[in-house]
Structures are given as structure tokens and as C-alpha cells.
């Protein structure tokens, strides 16, 4: 029997590039920590950490995943009836997995869209849910960044080199992304023009063969998409609720370094300064074109958290932070994907 040889396509090479980037970043981080501490020194220091505060860090990341699902489920419930919360939780966690595996967290939403379709949502309706969720998340990131600037600007400006450029780049990039999402959500003409251009490109590349049929299908789904965004505009209370959930979600994520700091025995800096530091790091590293913002996240942590941790503890704290807030998304997301059932569910779109 002839063996089937898998062609090395651009899509496949992109997957291998992402995997290689992830493995190299993890290997470099571990090598740096072990080279600085040694295996015996690393485990000796870990045994001295406060287990209650390490548990608190774990609870924070669990709360982050749960609140992600609650926000997604709330938005889904505004448009559809019949999607169980366990399905939304699965979709949220698998989205975290693919966000962690792709540059700019770009893979999370397309995969979530697929799983939401399996739950019975229209493509356009699921797109509306995910777009509004992404806007809420980006607005939450900017709100934390603004609060951090107001509360801790003087504190970090005196202690952190290149603080002002990092702040400006982080705010500027997040504002551009949020503005682009709002344009697509509110301006149907711009969305249709963008989609038509993409379809023409795909047709020229012979990926889409029947451009007329694809255009008609996209028009039907965009009608559902913009119907969903219009309905959200009428549900201001639900949007404010999702915004509040997102702020709590981000606080849970940003509190992880504080719990790690306390696990090392730290007590002096205020919670507000550590939350502000991780807000700056998250804004700046989100636009590093590697999975998980690798390189940018680690560099930002060393830059800002060198203020709080002793030099001998800084690299170990960095390793713990990445394990809890990044690599746990990959582990838990992969396990969730393995045990999830790929069956079609039925849900009902709510009347206009």
C-alpha cells in the first residue's frame, strides 16, 4: 500500500514555525534559569516558597479562565438560547490554547468560532459575540493601563529605564487594535469591502473557486453579524456587565505576580504597583510577533519586576509567572481539547 506523504504547505510551515518558537522560548528560559541557579539551587529555593501564596496564584489563573467563560456566555445568551455553560467554558479554554500558540494571539478566535458553530451558532452570530468580547477585553487592557499610568507613573518613571517609550507604544498599539475592531463592528460598509477584497485574493490564489457563491454566503452571515452588533448596542446593561466581568478577569491575571512576590516573602510594595507593572508588560508584549509574546514578555518582566525582586530571585519568579499565566493555558487547553466531544448541538437564535 502506498504511503500518503503530507505536503509541506505554507499553512503547515506556519504551524511548525509557531511550535519551534514556543519550544525555543521555553528552552531558553529554562536554560537561563538553570544556568543562573543550577538544578539544586532552583529546587532549594522553590521549597522555601510560601505554598499558600502559590496556591493563590493558581486560584487567580483559574478565576481568569472562569471569568473568560462567564463573559463569553453572557454575550452568547444575548443572541442565542440553549448553549450550556460547560460548552462555553470549553470554547473559552480552547481559545486560550490557540491564542498561546499563535503570534498576536491570532489563533484563538477562529478556533472559538468553529466550536461555537458546533454549538449551533451562525457564523455571523458567533463572529458578533467574539468581536464584542474582544473589544471589551482590549478596552479593559487600556483601562488598566490608564489606571496604572495615573497611579504609578512617578513610581516607575524614576526606577525603570525606557519607561515612557514602553508606555506610549503599548497605549498606541492597543488603541489602533481597538479602533479597528470598533470600525468592523459598527461600519458594515467597511466590513463588506474588506471581506470582498479577501475573497478576491483567495479566488486569485484558487483557494475560493466559486466567488459568487462565497460572496452570497458572506452577505447572509454579515447580515446576522450586524444584526447581532446592533442588538448589543441596545443591550447597554449587558455590555456594562461584560465590561465589569472583563475588568475582574484582567485583575485576576494581573494579580498572579503579586501572589508570586508574596510567595517569595516580599511585603513592601503595594498591590497597585505590581498590578500596574504587569499591565505595562502585557500591553507592550501583546504585539511581539511570536507566540505568547515570547521575548517581549520575559524582557518586560525583567525590566519592571527587577524593581521588586532580589536579583537572585528574579529569574525564578519569571519562570513561575510564565508557567502559571502562559504554559498552563497550553497544558489545560490541550487536555480540554482531547476530552471535548465533537458533537453538533442545537441552539435557537433569539427573535429580534
- List, for residues 273-282, the tens digit of each pLDDT value: 898 899 888 8
| 188 or 317, which is more confident | 317
Percent of the chain, pLDDT > 90?
Answer: 32
The answer to whether 320 and 33 are in contact (CB under 8 A) is no
pLDDT at 7: 52
What would the pLDDT profile of 170-212 be if each residue is shown by its tens digit?
Answer: 778 788 888 888 777 777 677 777 777 766 766 676 666 777 7
Residue 114 makes CB contacts below 8 A (sequence gap 6+) with none
Domain boundaries, the chain: 50-345
| Rg from Cα positions in the chain | 22
pLDDT at 211: 72
Strand, coil or helix: 352: coil
**Burial grade of 341 (CB within 10 A; 0-12, 13-18, 19 or more):** exposed
Residue appearing with cell numbers 510577533: 289
Amino acid at each position: 500500500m502506498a504511503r500518503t506523504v503530507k505536503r509541506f504547505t505554507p499553512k503547515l510551515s506556519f504551524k511548525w514555525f509557531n511550535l519551534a518558537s514556543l519550544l525555543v522560548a521555553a528552552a531558553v528560559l529554562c536554560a537561563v534559569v538553570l544556568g543562573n541557579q543550577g538544578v539544586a539551587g532552583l529546587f532549594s529555593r522553590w521549597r522555601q516558597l510560601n505554598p499558600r501564596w502559590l496556591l493563590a496564584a493558581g486560584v487567580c489563573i483559574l478565576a481568569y479562565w472562569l471569568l473568560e467563560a462567564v463573559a463569553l456566555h453572557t454575550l452568547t445568551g444575548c443572541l442565542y438560547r440553549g448553549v450550556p455553560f460547560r460548552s462555553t467554558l470549553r470554547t473559552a479554554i480552547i481559545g486560550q490554547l490557540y491564542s498561546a500558540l499563535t503570534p498576536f494571539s491570532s489563533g484563538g478566535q477562529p478556533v472559538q468560532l468553529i466550536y461555537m458553530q458546533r454549538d449551533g451558532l451562525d457564523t455571523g452570530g458567533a463572529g458578533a459575540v467574539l468581536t464584542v468580547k474582544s473589544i471589551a477585553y482590549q478596552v479593559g487592557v487600556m483601562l488598566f493601563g490608564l489606571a496604572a499610568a495615573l497611579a504609578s507613573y512617578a513610581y516607575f518613571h524614576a526606577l525603570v529605564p525606557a519607561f515612557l517609550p514602553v508606555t506610549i507604544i503599548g497605549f498606541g498599539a492597543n488603541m489602533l487594535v481597538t479602533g479597528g475592531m470598533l470600525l468592523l463592528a459598527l461600519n458594515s460598509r467597511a466590513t463588506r469591502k474588506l471581506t470582498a477584497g479577501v475573497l478576491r485574493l483567495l479566488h486569485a490564489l484558487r483557494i475560493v473557486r466559486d466567488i459568487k457563491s462565497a460572496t452570497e454566503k458572506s452577505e447572509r452571515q454579515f447580515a446576522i453579524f450586524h444584526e447581532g452588533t446592533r442588538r448589543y448596542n441596545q443591550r447597554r446593561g449587558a455590555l456594562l456587565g461584560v465590561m465589569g466581568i472583563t475588568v475582574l478577569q484582567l485583575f485576576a491575571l494581573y494579580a498572579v505576580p503579586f501572589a508570586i512576590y508574596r510567595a517569595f516573602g516580599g511585603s513592601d510594595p503595594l498591590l497597585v504597583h505590581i498590578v500596574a507593572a504587569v499591565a505595562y508588560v502585557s500591553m507592550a508584549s501583546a504585539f511581539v510577533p511570536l507566540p505568547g509574546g515570547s521575548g517581549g514578555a520575559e524582557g518586560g518582566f525583567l525590566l519592571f519586576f527587577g524593581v521588586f525582586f532580589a536579583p537572585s530571585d528574579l529569574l525564578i519568579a519569571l519562570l513561575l509567572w510564565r508557567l502559571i499565566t502562559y504554559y498552563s493555558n497550553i497544558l489545560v487547553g490541550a487536555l480540554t481539547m482531547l476530552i471535548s466531544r465533537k458533537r453538533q448541538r442545537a441552539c435557537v437564535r433569539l427573535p429580534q
